[in-house]
């Protein structure tokens, strides 16, 4: 009898112990001189040997050597999981001090982040390329700190152009259509222009075409204009001039960007809008490619789509001073140059851009360097953008198959609902 | 959890020497207790969380911003795509279950005959069931791929189509292919259920029918089918629930796209997750209610079944 009775509280005690053990994670030593910063970053590598973990461990070690009282705990998460893991961290209150990932605005909406001026020295902030720093602003205050970037340009297959008897890459939509027709006639079996409006990145390809007609996802004040007359005209043009005559994929709404890139690198597509990662893919596929400005309705685009990934600092642990020291260190030319060169990405700081564009080491990237200072961005600073972007990915491809005005009108309603809901 | 549930029993047993009669009075409780606990933990609690989430405003970063009342349900029923998605779901469920039952009846009849190699073919039928459904659908997706799919190449070589087609990109051709895959993976279970039913039909009845001069078709219609009803109903209802909930076939092949043109309510729920967790939870609640309805229908039908017997 006694044995039984004894067993019960013991069990309860063990249960209680294991339960509470889960609750006490992640409190880092904030008192005294020693501080451990928690850094969470996305993995840009595609295998263990080139994981970003190596880069960040190196930066952290060098930083701690210079600042012995600040340690950096590095956690690198792959792109597929980082969003959900960061969500879990936020929900459980176990937030990182510094996060490097794809977007920042949703965290601003919940008032989780430091302003950039609190965690970056004036010199480091001045060194950021202005268009990118501006893209990090929510209502005129910068929260997002650009980390790496990329810009879009027009890629064409020189061999296929030659076979079709085309001397120059197109500069307007009508020229693009004429070239596509020539390619369709002379080189059967090749997709003349790859139009990927599938869920992977429809928000990008659609914005490039909208910019070509003086439109865009938003107007100057930042309000969504998805169904503006210019945008409806853009998608009507695409539908009647590229999709219906069979000058692009049969179903752009379900064709993803990676399919388009793979087709181009295999020589099965003559033209598309690509970013620098396509350079290496084309070289590996032995495709003789050319890079040109993106054609617009009446002439090449002056401002192309720029994309950036972001760094941000969380307020919760109150480590502003230490974060500032760390970020100033991480954004030095030496570190940023090493990172962008490792992954063939584009820089966001002026000194690194200057070094890369004048060094002569990056001839293949040169057409893109010129595009960076004038790049146009998604409305990243709008806290509703994540939702709108998800709606665009899912739905905007239908605008070249169904009625453009109706599809864009429905999307505009959803965007306005998302804005009203934030 | 387990110490809690055993505690009262232990204490009482300590106070009273008549512990055995109490244990007898508790009856099966100590035995079914763990199962009940498991149901509470893995079924009822998630259901509660699902319903609760459907009444919350949750930001895209995962922050709970307070109560939403019935807003998420209103938003869901205002979705322009919802009507079409429901029609798709009904057509999908009826078509896939109908075809599965019909083909399975024929297959079960075939496998009930004695023929050389029967054991092998019966084993072979398990294959689509044994393979992961997601794996099967991804396999079909690549076989139908526009540029490199073997089925496209085959159909073009045989001369059925002129050039490779983007089957899954267009809803009109994607639906039939997805239904084919869904039928393919539902056949084994249904056929085995019906086969088990066929084996319970006493051979004397068939013999008697033959003596009375009934033809093969009449025997099947008048004797086999009515006696097969219990197995048929089990197969039917389980398939209805399975196909209605079928997520991997559609997600693996089209992800419900373009837009929501190839989505059923289950896939639509998953698509909504990208933009609004609360609305997605509201869709889940609606789906859950529909499944509960189907289960109630099943219980009703099975009672009717027993009464008839």
What the block records as the tokens of A94 is 């176990």
For residue A339, the model assigns a pLDDT of 93
Of A4, A251, A391, nearest to B170 by CB-CB distance is A251
Is A91 close to B13, i.e. CB distance below 8 A? no
Name which of A366, A420, A326 is nearest A74 in CA terms: A326
Name which of A190, A202, A189, A203 is nearest A256 in CA terms: A202
Residue of B53, B58, B62 for testing the chain A interface, max A β-carbons within 10 Å:
B62
Residue A411 makes CB contacts below 8 A (sequence gap 6+) with A226, A227, A391, A392, A395, A396
Is B257 close to A249, i.e. CB distance below 8 A? no
For residue A64, the model assigns a pLDDT of 94
B120 interfacial to chain A (CB closer than 8 Å)? no
For residue A222, the model assigns a pLDDT of 84
What the block records as the tokens of A235 is 């998608």
Of B7, B147, B258, nearest to A253 by CB-CB distance is B258
Name which of A391, A329, A158 is nearest B75 in CA terms: A391
Is A253 close to B257, i.e. CB distance below 8 A? yes
Burial A113-139 (b: 16+ CB within 10 A, else e): bbebeebbeeebbebbbebbbebbbbe
For residue B20, the model assigns a pLDDT of 65
B80-308: CATH topology? MetI-like fold (1.10.3720)
B74 interfacial to chain A (CB closer than 8 Å)? no
What residues pair up with A271 in beta bridges, in sequence order? A156, A193
Q: Which residues of A touch B (CB under 8 A)?
A: 1, 4-5, 8, 11-12, 15, 86-88, 90-91, 106-107, 109-110, 112, 198-199, 249-251, 253-255, 263, 268, 386-387, 390-391, 393-395, 397-398, 401, 410, 414, 417-418, 421
Is B80 close to A418, i.e. CB distance below 8 A? no
The Cα–Cα gap between A149 and A369 comes to 10
The Cα–Cα gap between A121 and A276 comes to 30
Residue B189 makes CB contacts below 8 A (sequence gap 6+) with B129, B235, B238, B239
Which ranges of A24-72 does DSSP label H, i.e. alpha helix?
Answer: 52-66
Is B274 close to A250, i.e. CB distance below 8 A? no
Name which of A135, A133, A215 is nearest A382 in CA terms: A135
For residue B11, the model assigns a pLDDT of 45
Is B260 close to A249, i.e. CB distance below 8 A? no
Is A251 close to B258, i.e. CB distance below 8 A? yes
The Cα–Cα gap between B186 and B193 comes to 11
What the block records as the tokens of A412 is 């505009």
Q: For residues B64-75, give the mean pLDDT.
A: 88
pLDDT of B14 > 50? The answer is: no
B132 interfacial to chain A (CB closer than 8 Å)? no
Cα–Cα distances in Å, from B151 out to A114, A256, B253?
A: 55, 21, 15
Q: How many residues does chain B have?
A: 309
Q: Show residues of chain B in contact with A88, CB under 8 Å.
A: 62
Domains and CATH numbers, chain A: 35-150+307-369 (3.40.190.10), 153-304+384-421 (3.40.190.10)
Q: For residues B172-199, give the mean pLDDT.
A: 94
Give the Cα-Cα-Cα angle A328, A330, A335 (nearest 5 degrees): 130
Name which of A258, A304, A308 is nearest A281 in CA terms: A258
For residue A33, the model assigns a pLDDT of 67
Given a contact cutoff of 8 angstroms between Cβ atoms, the answer to whether A206 and A193 are in contact is no
Q: Show residues of chain A in contact with B153, CB under 8 Å.
A: none
Given a contact cutoff of 8 angstroms between Cβ atoms, the answer to whether A395 and A418 are in contact is no
For residue A23, the model assigns a pLDDT of 35
Q: What is the pLDDT of residues B260-278, one digit of tens each?
A: 999 999 999 999 988 888 9
Residues of chain A with pLDDT under 50: 1-32
For residue B309, the model assigns a pLDDT of 54
Q: Which residues in chain B are classed under CATH 1.10.3720.10?
A: 80-308
Q: What is the pLDDT of residues B128-160, one digit of tens each?
A: 888 899 999 999 999 998 878 898 889 888 888
**Mind telling me how many Å the CA of B118 is from chain A's nearest CA?**
43
Q: Show residues of chain B in contact with A8, CB under 8 Å.
A: 3, 6-7, 10
Residue B128 CB neighbours (<10 A)? 17
Q: For residues B15-42, give the mean pLDDT.
A: 79
What the block records as the tokens of B178 is 């997805």
Which of residues B11 and A375 earns the better pLDDT score? A375
Given a contact cutoff of 8 angstroms between Cβ atoms, the answer to whether B54 and B275 are in contact is no
| Residue A129 DSSP code | -
């Amino acid at each position: 009898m006694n044995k039984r009775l004894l067993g019960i509280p013991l069990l309860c005690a063990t249960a209680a112990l294991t339960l509470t053990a889960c609750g006490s994670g992640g409190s880092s030593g904030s008192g005294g001189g020693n501080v451990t910063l928690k850094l969470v970053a996305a993995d840009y590598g595609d295998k263990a040997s080139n994981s970003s973990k190596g880069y960040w461990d190196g930066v952290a070690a060098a930083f701690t050597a210079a600042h012995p009282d600040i340690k950096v705990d590095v956690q690198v998460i792959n792109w597929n999981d980082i969003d959900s893991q960061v969500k879990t961290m936020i929900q459980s209150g176990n937030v990182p001090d510094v996060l490097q990932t794809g977007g920042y605005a949703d965290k601003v909406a919940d008032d989780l982040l430091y302003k950039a001026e609190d965690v970056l020295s004036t010199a480091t902030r001045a060194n950021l390329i202005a268009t990118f720093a501006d893209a990090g602003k929510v209502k005129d205050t910068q929260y997002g700190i650009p980390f790496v970037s990329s810009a879009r340009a027009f890629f064409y297959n020189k061999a296929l152009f030659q076979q079709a008897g085309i001397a120059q890459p197109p500069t307007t939509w009508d020229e693009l259509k004429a070239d596509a027709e020539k390619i369709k006639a002379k080189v059967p079996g090749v997709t003349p222009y790859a139009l990927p409006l599938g869920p992977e990145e429809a928000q990008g390809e659609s914005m490039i075409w909208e910019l070509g007609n003086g439109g865009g996802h938003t107007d100057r004040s930042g309000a969504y204009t998805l169904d503006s007359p210019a945008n409806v005209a853009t998608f009507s043009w695409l539908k009647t001039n590229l999709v219906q005559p069979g000058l692009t994929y049969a179903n752009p709404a379900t064709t993803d960007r990676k399919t388009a890139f793979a087709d181009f690198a295999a020589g099965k597509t003559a033209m598309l809008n690509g970013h620098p990662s396509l350079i290496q893919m084309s070289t590996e596929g032995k495709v003789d490619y050319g890079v040109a400005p993106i054609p617009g309705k009446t002439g090449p685009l002056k401002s192309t789509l720029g994309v950036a990934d972001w760094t941000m600092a969380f307020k919760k642990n109150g480590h502003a001073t230490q974060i500032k020291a760390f970020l100033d260190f991480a954004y030095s030319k030496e570190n940023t140059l090493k990172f962008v060169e490792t992954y063939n990405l584009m820089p966001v700081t002026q000194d690194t851009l200057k070094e890369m564009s004048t060094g002569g080491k990056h001839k293949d990237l040169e057409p893109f360097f010129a595009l960076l200072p004038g790049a146009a961005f998604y409305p990243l600073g709008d806290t509703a953008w994540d939702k709108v972007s998800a709606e665009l990915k899912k739905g905007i491809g239908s605008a070249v198959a169904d009625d453009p005005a109706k599809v864009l009108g429905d999307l505009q309603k959803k965007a306005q609902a998302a804005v009203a809901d934030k | 959890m387990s110490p809690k549930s055993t505690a009262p029993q232990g204490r009482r047993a300590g106070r009273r020497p008549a512990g055995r009669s109490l244990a007898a009075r508790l009856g099966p409780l100590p035995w079914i207790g763990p199962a009940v606990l498991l149901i509470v933990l893995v079924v009822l609690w998630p259901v509660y969380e699902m319903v609760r989430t459907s009444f919350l405003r949750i930001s895209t970063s995962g922050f709970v911003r307070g109560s939403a009342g019935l807003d998420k349900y209103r938003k869901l029923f205002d979705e322009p795509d919802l009507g079409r998605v429901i029609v798709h779901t009904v057509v999908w469920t009826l078509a896939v279950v109908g075809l599965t039952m019909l083909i399975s009846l024929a297959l079960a009849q075939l496998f009930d005959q004695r023929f050389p190699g029967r054991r092998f073919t019966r084993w072979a039928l398990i294959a689509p069931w044994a393979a992961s459904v997601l794996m099967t659908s991804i396999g079909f997706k690549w076989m139908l791929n526009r540029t490199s799919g073997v089925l496209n190449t085959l159909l073009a070589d045989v001369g059925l189509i002129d050039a490779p087609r983007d089957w899954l990109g267009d809803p009109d051709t994607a639906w039939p292919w997805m239904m084919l895959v869904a039928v393919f993976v539902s056949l084994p279970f249904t056929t085995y259920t019906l086969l088990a039913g066929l084996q319970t039909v006493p051979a004397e009845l068939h013999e008697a029918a033959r003596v009375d001069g009934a033809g093969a078709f009449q025997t099947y219609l008048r004797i086999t089918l009515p006696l097969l009803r219990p197995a048929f109903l089990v197969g039917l209802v389980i398939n209805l629930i399975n196909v209605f909930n079928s997520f991997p076939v559609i997600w693996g092949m089209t992800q419900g796209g373009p837009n929501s043109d190839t989505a059923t309510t289950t896939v639509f729920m998953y698509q909504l997750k990208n933009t609004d967790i609360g609305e997605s939870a509201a869709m889940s609640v609606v789906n859950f209610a529909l499944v509960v309805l189907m289960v109630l229908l099943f219980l009703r039908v099975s009672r009717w079944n027993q009464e008839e017997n």
